[in-house]
Amino acid sequence: MEYFLIITTLVFIAAIFGYINVRFLRLPNTIGLMVITIVSTLVVLGISYFDATLLNAEKYIITKIDFKTVLLDIMLSFLLFAGALHTNFAQLKIQRWPVLVFSTVGVLISTFLVGGAMYYVLQFIGLPVDFIYCLLFGALISPTDPIAVLGILKKVGAPKKLETKIVGESLFNDGVGVVVFLTIFQIAKMGDQGTIEPLDIIALFGQEVLGGIALGLFIGFITYRLMKSIDDYDIEVIITLAAVMVGTAVAQHFHLSAPLAMVTAGLLVGNDTIRASTMSEITETYVDKFWELIDILLNTILFVLIGMEMLVLSFELSYVVAGLIAIPVILICRYLSLLLPIKFFQKKLEFVPKTNLIMTWGGLRGGISIALALGLTEAMQRDLFLVITYIVVVFSIIVQGLTVGKLIQKVKTEET
């Protein structure tokens, strides 16, 4: 009953905040929910000086929820499957090589650039941290959030080839970023216990990535065969739901990447060619609407939770300074990490003008980064990196999210 009451409270808050945003603010849902939740949390903190009832209730909810487990082990699979299901597969196929390089090589380059830069920044401001822990921060902050950016891109009418690059990269770099983080995390833990074998690192990385993609292809194929053999939209919707739940459980049991598995399965099931041969028009409508609803519901709850997380953070002045410095550092590192791949593919594929600038500013950070930061141990400077991550995520969603549309419109105007 306790967990049911917590879920009920979160859904109620999400519904009220969502209504306020749609009725009055009219901001993109992601941004609006983040702004309203932060403002409401600050109001609750203010009221707590006179009556701490509301503050204690919010703290109780946050302390009862394992944000890392809820997001990484449960919500992320559903969100990524839904995102992949609605991705333009034809465009993704054309843009597959830049998307692949952005989400793999780009993440690795960004991890080391951010990790190296923050190592020296933290030393400069009197917060010396081991390099391996700075690399962990680089890994957790490098993935961009498809959930946060997709609605904004659609609203401003971003060119399809640009939207595909940003969303496709975000879908895959979530999975790759989690794998890179877990690999460095294991290296950090093994380093405290003895020597580290390079083959162990390669084996762990290969198992997570290749195993996750292979599982996704298998789950997607089974789902395709089952849906093709019947014509009943109710059962076919349930089959897609079962595919995500079973696929996630299997991935977690065998230590494969569930995010990569679900992205792969979603792309396979959502492929236009497969849709045409497996789904009737009514089935396609129901499947799409069901997963849009799941996406919106989980997305709403996620950003309410992100806003409420500020109640459990230790906002020391030095931590806040580090977070503010980290914002331009991370943006510069992202720009540099995309520079070579964009230059390489620019000659082969027609890129929108200032693609690097738009992808840098449009690469919003979200709940995944906070969830990974929550997974750090105290020895890995958890409190410090959690505050830095929170500041970067809030800036990313509110400031970058509110202005990336204007940037795209400006570029489109200059192009014409």
Q: pLDDT of 75-132, one tens digit each? A: 989 988 998 888 877 778 888 888 889 999 999 999 999 999 999 999 999 999 999 9
Sorted by where each starts, the structural domains of the chain and their CATH numbers stand as 67-415 (1.20.1530.20)
DSSP 18-39: HHHIIIII---HHHHHHHHHHH
What pLDDT score was predicted for residue 167?
A: 80
Q: What is the reported pLDDT for 194?
A: 56
Q: Considering only 153-157, 218-222, 317-321, which range has the smallest mean pLDDT?
A: 153-157
| pLDDT over 80 at 386, yes or no | yes
Residues 188 and 166: beta-carbon distance below 8 Å: no
Span 398-406, mean pLDDT? 88
Q: Which residues contact 22 (CB under 8 A, 6 or more apart)?
A: 29, 32
Residue 101, token pair as written in the block: 């390089």
Identify the helix (H) or strand (E) that includes residue 121.
Answer: helix 105-124
Q: What is the mean pLDDT of the chain?
A: 88
| 201 burial via Cβ count (<10 Å: 0-12, 13-18, 19+) | middle
**Cα→Cα distances 345→55, 99, 234, 362, Å:** 52, 10, 43, 19
Its pTM surpasses 0.75: yes
pLDDT at 222: 97
Is 1 a residue whose pLDDT tops 60? Answer: no
Indicate if the pLDDT at residue 193 is higher than 60. Answer: no
**% of the chain surpassing 70 pLDDT:** 95
Give the model's pLDDT for residue 205: 80
Structure confidence by residue, pLDDT tens digits, 300-334: 888 888 888 888 888 899 999 999 999 999 999 99
Interatomic CA distance for residues 287 and 272, integer angstroms:
14
281, containing H or E segment? helix 281-308
Q: What is the pLDDT of residues 35-84, one digit of tens each?
A: 999 999 889 989 989 988 988 888 888 888 888 888 888 898 998 899 88
pLDDT category at 232 given cuts 50, 70, 90 is very high
C-alpha 310/C-alpha 135 separation (Å) is 24
Per-residue burial over 117-139, b if 16 or more Cβ lie within 10 Å, else e, is bbbebbeeeebebeebbbbbbbb
The structure tokens 């192009």 sit at 415
Say if residue 213's pLDDT is above 90: yes
